[in-house]
Structure 1
């Protein structure tokens, strides 16, 4: 069981470490701060609310509600990420070195 928890934690960390760079890459130049704020607001709101809700469920129902609660929100996160239409950074086409000087005129 510990091996499963460790592998799940490593997988979740691998996803989370790439979330913020994706937000920055999807934002247009002047909107990086705005989308950073959205990202951190959503992240911190979830970290604030979920201990309250999961604790209430565990007190009122049972400790057995913790895993379905977590699985539900992991599935919800997977669903919303699957709706993402683009997420890869498309590099700008490279111009031959002499054409770069044309843009400076």
Structure 2
């Protein structure tokens, strides 16, 4: 169980670590501040609203609901990240 949680943590860290450079690739010099602000706003908003929602799920459905809530959250994140079409690093060979 702990090994499985560790593996999920590694995958989640890779998502978080790669999302910020991807954000910079999508923005321009003029909009990088706006994109960064939105990134931190929604990141902190998720950190604020997720614990009460998780607690409500636990109250209504028991502690096993944590795994369902986590799985649904990961699925939503996967689907949303799959919709991103820009933000890939540009090939240095094409710039010359």
Q: Distance in 1 between matches of 2:54 and 2:11?
A: 22
In the alignment, is the contact (CA less than 8 A) between 2:25 and 2:86 conserved in 1? no
Deviation at 1:10, TM superposition (A): 1.0
Alignment of 1:6-85 (within 5 A): 6-85=6-85
Max Rg structure: 1
**Number of aligned pairs?**
94
Deviation at 1:85, TM superposition (A): 1.3
Deviation at 1:12, TM superposition (A): 1.0
Q: Deviations over 1:43-84 (max 9, x none)?
A: 000000000110111123211111111110100010011111
Alignment partner, residue 93 of structure 1? 95
Unaligned runs of 5+ in 1: 95-105
Alignment partner, residue 100 of structure 1? none
Unaligned runs of 5+ in 2: none
Greater relative CO, 1 or 2 (CA 8 Å, sep 6+) = 2
* RMSD (Å) for aligned C-alpha atoms: 1.2
Q: Deviations over 1:21-63 (max 9, x none)?
A: 1111110111000000110111000000000110111123211
Alignment partner, residue 99 of structure 1? none
Q: Distance in 2 between matches of 1:42 and 1:15?
A: 15
